[in-house]
Amino acid sequence: MNNKLPNSLFRGSNVVKIARKLLGSHLFTNFNDELTSGIIVEVEAYCGATDKACHAYPDKVTPRTKIMYESGGVAYVYLVYGMHHLFNIVTNAGGSADAVLIRAIEPIAGVAVMQKRRNTNQNNKLLTGGPARLTQALGINVSHNKSDLQGEHIWLTEGKHYTDKEIITSTRIGVEYAGDDALLPWRFHIKDNKYVSK
């Protein structure tokens, strides 16, 4: 589609600011001619150098985290709990392991396709609210790890720009193991949006 978000937007040095700025962008996938998209309404930031909640903390390169050290604009997709695929956007310049977890989208294109993939006829937060729900709805799985977000399968476009009053800041979900860093205000979501996970 037109006007893909440029890599320059992903390559800033402050992953928290980038995460917040991504709210309102549209996330697209196109697999086997099935086009789906949604508005990003919930995100979290992760920083490998300083953040105990990040897989790459403390700046540790492993086979899994290697992708996070790439220059911004590629996907980091991993499996948790043996069954859930979570989609992140790698940010920063090469060498800094930062990423933004996409936690919820508001469905726009291909709702029927998403419902089929999710095996539901609902269109509410059960469809795309939650990091593993949205990947299933969009058809994203670990085979898409390392995908280039300028490519033809997964990409973003510019969308609405929300004002400060429409954006809620909070702590991240499911990172209690990170001690003090679980308290960082690195989760952002759109106020009153019905697709936000919690």
Partner DNA sequence: TAGGTGATCTTG
Partner DNA sequence: AAGATCACCTAT
Q: Which residues bind DNA (CB under 7 A)?
A: 44, 46, 53-56, 60, 62-65, 76, 78-84, 86, 88, 99, 101, 118, 126, 130-133, 172-175, 177, 197
Question: Cβ 165 to DNA, closest distance in Å?
Answer: 26
Q: Which is nearer to DNA, 20 or 161 (CB)?
A: 20
Shortest Å, Cβ 100 to DNA: 8
In the bound state with DNA, the residue whose beta carbon lies nearer, of 4 and 64, is: 64
- The Cα 15–Cα 21 span in angstroms is 10
Residue whose CB is less far from DNA, 5 or 196 = 196
Q: How far is the CB of 49 from DNA (least distance, A)?
A: 13
Sign of the torsion formed by the C-alpha atoms of 180, 182, 183 and 185: positive
Helix ranges (DSSP H) in 40-152: 111-118, 125-128, 131-138
Of the pair 82, 164, the CB lying nearest DNA is at: 82
Given the complex with DNA, which of 9 and 77 has the nearer CB atom?
A: 77
Residues shown for the chain? 198
Q: Is the separation of the CB atoms in 134 and 28 below 8 Å? A: no
- Tell me the closest approach of the beta carbon of residue 135 to DNA, in angstroms: 8
Beta bridge partners of 36: 29
Q: What is the smallest separation between the CB atom of 125 and DNA, expressed in angstroms?
A: 9
One-letter amino acid at 189 equals H
Which stretch of DSSP H or E encloses residue 21?
helix 15-22
Cis peptide bond upstream of 58, omega within 30: yes
